[in-house]
């Protein structure tokens, strides 16, 4: 029995000619959620059911042959993502890619079920390995040891200043026998779930590393700095909550870490922007000349503090902002200032809108710690941000 691959079309309208991801993953809700996640990053996704259950008569080779033809029909470059792939099935995959091999530009393997590296190191027909990333639990020492010589050889052959062809990332305290990203829902599902922080950390970090390889090898490119600047303009200059949210995904969240304020989901965030974003004072200054910006990181100096009576004193303090994107939209923001001082008893939070250890807990579990408990007027603003 052969089940045709399922196509989840690119969900980013600005991507006119999307490239393709062939993903081997279970067809349950979580596996499908990860296919949806990558479609929201700007890819056409072909989902092949995996793993194979012998009793149902599913023919993996036939499914892969059909997927290979579909990849060719879609055209252009493509990449492969697998979860828990065995060495036997990796060999089956290699023998099934007949039409589109030359267009395969990158491979990502989560928790390969093997101790041998060879079946997973695919080579270009012109020679040399196809760029690959492996995400494995730290306890998978045998496959790690088998891969390391290949990473070192490739680095020597490719010049130390170029990107490594083979990369291996290990993650502590995640299970070995189950691909850890499949232990929680993908961010695109906006699932408000509390999970082990090691699983959440490994999953989000491995997603970032996966997208880094994909963007480099098959695109698409997004001008994320422009997205951020437009978001900030709508929020602080035009002060238009609806326009601000137009730069964000359908279910975003903002966490002002030291005060536990912001919003989880579009409804709460619209309410927060309407009722709690302070107006810019004419002497407020955002020192972008000394900004340090990275792909998901914007650090700058800001000179206002809402809710404190004017003292006539000039205030300057650093702020670290961590901004994540999905496709060409913002997904979440984190801001932090004072929580460490509270926990060290160097700052008394009694009469200040700052929190202590709950700050760290909310970073690890965004939906498990409530937002806006320090805002005295939060309860009375119910319904003001929903129109």
Q: What is the pLDDT of residues 144-166, one digit of tens each?
A: 999 999 886 655 555 555 788 99
What number is the average pLDDT over the span 187-191?
67
Per-residue pLDDT band at 72 (split at 50, 70, 90): very high
Per-residue pLDDT band at 274 (split at 50, 70, 90): confident
**Nearest one of 303, 324, 300, 306 to 315, comparing CA atoms:** 303
Peptide bond into 51 cis (omega under 30): yes
Per-residue pLDDT band at 257 (split at 50, 70, 90): low
What number is the average pLDDT over the span 53-62?
78
Per-residue pLDDT band at 55 (split at 50, 70, 90): low
- pLDDT of residue 303 exceeding 60: no
Mean pLDDT for the chain overall: 81
Residues 6+ apart with CB under 8 A from 135: 108, 109, 110, 111, 169, 171, 202, 206, 209, 210
Angle between helices 357-364 and 197-218 (to 10 degrees): 50
What number is the average pLDDT over the span 266-294?
64
Numbered ranges of CATH 3.40.50 in the chain: 6-218
- pLDDT of residue 271 exceeding 70: yes
Numbered ranges of CATH 3.10.450.50 in the chain: 224-381
pLDDT at 268: 86
- pLDDT of residue 181 exceeding 90: yes
Q: Are 153 and 119 in contact (CB under 8 A)?
A: no
Of residues 305 and 73, more confidence is placed in: 73
What number is the average pLDDT over the span 324-332?
85
What number is the average pLDDT over the span 103-112?
97
Length of the chain: 387
Q: Are 359 and 336 in contact (CB under 8 A)?
A: yes
- pLDDT of residue 292 exceeding 50: no
CATH code: domain 224-381 is 3.10.450.50
pLDDT at 136: 97
Q: Which CATH class for the 6-218 domain?
A: alpha beta
Residue carrying the six token digits 């296919």: 35
Task: Give the whole-angstrom CA distance, residue 188 versus residue 330.
Answer: 12
What number is the average pLDDT over the span 121-146?
92
Of residues 53 and 126, more confidence is placed in: 126
């Amino acid at each position: 029995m052969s089940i045709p691959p399922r196509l989840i079309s690119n969900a980013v309208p600005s991507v006119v000619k999307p490239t393709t991801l062939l993903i081997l993953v279970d067809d349950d809700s979580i596996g499908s959620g990860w296919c949806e996640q990558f479609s929201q990053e700007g890819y056409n996704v072909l989902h092949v059911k995996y793993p194979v259950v012998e009793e149902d008569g599913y023919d993996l080779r036939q499914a892969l042959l059909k997927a290979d033809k579909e990849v060719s029909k879609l055209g252009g470059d493509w990449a492969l993502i697998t979860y828990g792939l065995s060495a036997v099935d990796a060999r089956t995959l290699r023998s099934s890619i007949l039409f589109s091999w030359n267009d395969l530009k990158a491979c990502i393997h989560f928790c390969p079920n093997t101790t041998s590296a060879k079946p997973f190191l695919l080579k270009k027909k012109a020679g040399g390995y196809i760029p690959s990333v492996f995400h494995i639990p730290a306890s998978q020492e045998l496959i790690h040891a088998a891969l390391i010589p290949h990473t070192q050889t490739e680095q020597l052959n490719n010049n130390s200043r170029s990107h490594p062809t083979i990369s291996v990332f290990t993650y502590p305290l995640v299970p070995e026998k189950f691909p850890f990203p499949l232990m929680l829902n993908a961010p695109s599902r906006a699932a408000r779930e509390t999970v082990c922080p090691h699983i959440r950390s490994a999953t989000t970090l491995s997603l970032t590393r996966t997208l880094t390889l994909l963007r480099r090898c098959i695109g698409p490119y997004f001008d994320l700095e422009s997205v951020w600047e437009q978001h900030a303009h709508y929020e602080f200059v035009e002060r238009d909550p609806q326009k601000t949210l137009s730069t964000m995904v359908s279910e975003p969240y903002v966490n002002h870490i030291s005060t536990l304020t912001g919003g989880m989901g579009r409804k709460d965030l619209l309410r927060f922007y309407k009722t709690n974003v302070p107006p810019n004072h004419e002497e407020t200054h955002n020192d972008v000349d000394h900004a340090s910006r990275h792909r998901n990181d914007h650090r700058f100096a800001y000179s206002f503090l809402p809710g404190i009576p004017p003292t006539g004193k000039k205030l300057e303090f650093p702020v670290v902002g961590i901004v994540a994107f999905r496709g060409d939209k913002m997904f979440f923001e984190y801001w932090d200032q004072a929580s460490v001082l509270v926990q060290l008893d160097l700052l008394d939070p009694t009469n200040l809108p700052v929190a202590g250890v709950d700050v760290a807990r909310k970073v690890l579990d965004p939906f498990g710690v409530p937002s806006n408990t320090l805002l005295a007027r939060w309860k009375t603003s119910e319904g003001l941000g929903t129109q």
